A and B are shown apart, each in its own frame.
Chain A
Amino acid sequence: MFEKALVGSRKYWLWLAFLGVLILIGFLAFLAQLQYGLGITGMSRDVSWGFYVAQFTFLVGVAASGVMVVLPYYLHNHKVFGPVTVFGEFLAIAAVIMCLLFIIVDIGQTHRLFNVLLHPTPHSMLFYDMIVLNGYLALNVICGWAALHGEYKGVKYPRWVVPFIYLSIPWAFSIHTVTAFLYAGLPGRHFWLTAIMAPRFLASAFCSGPALLLIALLIAQKVSRFRVDPMAIDTLSKIITYALLANIFFFGCELFTAFYSNIPGHKASLIYLFRGLEGHAEWVIFMWMAWLLMAGAALLLVIPATRKNINTLVLACIMLFIGAWIDKGIGLLTGGFTPTPFETVTPYRPTVPELLISLGIWAVGFLIMTVLFKIAVAVKEARAA
């Protein structure tokens, strides 16, 4: 089946080559980081996690979102999702691998990574995160591959994968819940110390992940003879709509709690992010942009006419994806670290090597996604022919 990835158009190979160059640049930057230390990044004593962990957090959401096509199909027998579940699973594979890579580059003593396995520590959330992420990766490889292989052979997926598919559903929720628990529950970090951290994570994941999946499906449709059932697009866009509305609602809950209680510590991070604190306003413009984009996308999605129109739908998906990415990728992290435990502000800005490494990892993700999608599309094309 893999041979399907080895034949492709010029465009396909150019795209892969382009990603390859980005990966190479990222890898070289990573070697420099290994040599010099994490001092090559913009992180500091006060903002000790940065872009890497933020990307990780966001991508766990993208990975978890695969369940939004798997669940309706297997639990509710929503037939139109049948042909796209495998794409959801493949998206999850690419996203989880990116997550793991982001963790690897974020660790100061990379070669000691396996200490997490050698000294299992059941009171650390990171321990569970490692288990659920790797487990989820395995589940998606098994389910996705088995389903596609069945299709390749022209048979239904083998029976033995069914339990794995059912297991993968709660598992998807677990990966983002455990990732939220990395943040929630830390004393003195008011911005993270919220019981709706996990629900917020899931809501933002279940809109941004399917949005990416939808765009990817439309691209796949454009470059091949593979066709997505318009009904599947319709359901997917409704899922995105409700998840986005939930995401906005949850954020409103956070705002209410912080500002109605009027407790300085709870307000400080939000003020820093949206208005600036002590003369530091580096993220204000980004944060406003993020929420305006998400609000705009919500509007486009709620109105049936614009949701049903492919152009405005894609626009809304892009808007909300960027919005959710800024909100989780930047806001969540820096907001949690600001103000510092000393009620001061230490601004964080990612450096060029840091961004290059991140770009390299994203390129790895897109490469995996392209190849897997290519295989899936080719198999489906062969079936249809």
Chain B
Amino acid sequence: MMVRRKIHRSLISLLVLTLILAACGSESTATTTSNTGSTNPAEVKGEITVWAWNVAAKSLEATVPSFNQKYPNIKVTVQDIGRTDVYDKLTSGLQAGGAGLPDVVAIESDRMDVYTSTFPDGLADLTSRASKYEKDFDPSKWAQSKISDKIRSIPWDSGPTGLWYRVDIFEQAGVDPKSIETWADLIAAGEKILAATDGKTKLLPVDIVADDAGFRMMTSQLGVCCYFNSDGKINLTNDKSVQALTLLKEINDKGLVANINGWDGTVAATKNGDVATVPFGVWYSGTIIDQAPDLSGKWDVMLLPAFEKGGNRAANLGGSTLAIPAATKNLDAAWLFVEHALATSEGQNIMMEKFGIWPSYQPAYSADLYSQPVAFFNNQPIWKLFADEIKNIPAATYTKDYAKGQAVLASAQAKVLSQGMDPKQALQEAAAELANQTGREVAQ
């Protein structure tokens, strides 16, 4: 059996390698120079490739110059190959025993289980190198990187959420952002904005067909994120999940949703004023700055509105880790890169300052930038808002079936928003479907 598996592996590796090389026409993905045992940073040599997407890739790229000051002989290539492509290629590469994979790869924290459960040894065991940093990291994030007592990735960023909003459009419609405390307030504001802009500017973007980000933020806020409860049962038919989906339906029924296509659709709507607000994680700040530089001063942020007056306004969306595929031939160089980017204030704060990637590495918070006003965002000290929010975020449960949950929920969302199905019924059907796909029980 084992022998057959090995032959399997190597042949599939060959296949996948060929496919990947043909697909992206990439240069050397696996160049290597051995470097074990060296203590002098300048002597560590090698060439490593990093996979990430969008702003995550750009921010990692931004740490390379400072990394190369310490380790001049490690050449780092960051490839932005798109979020879903990273996952699809990672899956096939791990299945092929590591063929064609990069030396470092970004994985969203809530997806870690998907990979570590299917490929228990596919990602390098970083325990011996990383355990000394445990005390420095946000404990909830560290827990997501630690699987069966082994550290398989290093927490990168957290995703406290906010409601990004257009100051100028709010003013034009006569809406005072300070008056918005609940989702009902926000809906009323959305109606005013829609009227004031002759229907051009909707309240917020939703990728109705493919992404349930709004639902995840709202359930996180309500403490029932995401899809499963702490016993691993499917947790979708509870009142709070129904409340979240009902709210989305209400916003949509009032004509306040801009139905967008994927990530690019959100970015486009953000740029050209199709939406007055974007509820998203702190990391969206980097995208706004990067993609809409001419809107400097016109964006600001507040916490998500509460479901009822005085209710919780803190939630989490996203947040990632960096992992090293076990098949890397440059483990030392890859580790040094990850260590510099994530386990030093220098690395983390480069990404924070330029792209709003919120460090999970807590010593980084002592830097000045966390209390300073940000010119781009209406000259407000927006980072302080997130720093204060973080401790109020309710805990969440992710499992290896998280990705399936996302797909099923997007499907339920489409049934509700575009076909008018009752939210409760849609969630019951979604729970049944998820049970069918995962063999998990549905929580009562």
Partners in one complex: no
